[in-house]
Amino acid sequence: MTTALPGGDEHAPRWLTDDEQRVWRAYLHATTLFEDHLDRQLQRDAGMPHIYYGLLVQLSQAPHHSKRMTELAIDAKITRSRLSHAVARLEKKGWVRREECPSDKRGQNAVLTAEGFAVLRKAAPGHVAAVRQAMFDRLSPEQVGQLGEIMGIMAEGLQPQGSGADLPWLR
């Protein structure tokens, strides 16, 4: 049964159909449980939340294990404020350090330390196993392809181009 408001206003919201509502709730349920699963695994095995692991991965894959803070926020899909807070925590652990950006004295780079790289290397196998167990082992190869295509389409639609875009890393 669809939810509709009385009156039949042509400007009324397009309510979700029963099937859409079912898919939407399943998506929310799965993504919430999945993120919690990964966060708990990383907290238990590596003493860090999933967001910190993602930042370490981004830095490990960057040339010289260094990335401008603005680019790191874009890649992590988080606000600059949240990134700054996370990097401060990673600095306290000795896993990351900040350096002035050589090409722009106003900018800063986050740099993965040797200790941070060692922590990441130790955490990676357990994290990959958790991802594989929770996602890929449950899907057929065809479903994996479909999920990748669907997520790509969704992400593309949520990242409008232009100066008026309201994206986390622009806040």
pLDDT digits (tens, 9 = 90+) for 141-168: 999 999 999 999 998 888 877 666 677 7
Measured between alpha carbons, how far is 23 from 43 in angstroms, rounded to an integer?
A: 30
Backbone angles phi, psi at 46, to 5 degrees: -130, -5
| C-alpha distances in Å from residue 91, one per residue of 57, 88, 98 | 15, 5, 8
Go through 78-103 and write b for each residue having 16 or more CB atoms within 10 A of its CB, e for each that does not: bebeebbebbebbeeeebbeeeeeee
Rounded to the nearest integer, the mean pLDDT of the chain is 91
> How confident is residue 58, by pLDDT bands cut at 50, 70 and 90?
very high
pLDDT digits (tens, 9 = 90+) for 125-147: 999 999 999 999 999 999 999 99
Contact status, residue 118 vs residue 99, Cβ threshold 8 Å: no
Backbone angles phi, psi at 42, to 5 degrees: -70, -40
Contact status, residue 92 vs residue 74, Cβ threshold 8 Å: no
Average pLDDT on 52-77 reads 95
Q: Of 53, 67, 63, 58, which Cα lies nearest the Cα of 97?
A: 67
Average pLDDT on 73-77 reads 91
Q: Indicate the SS3 state at residue 2.
A: coil
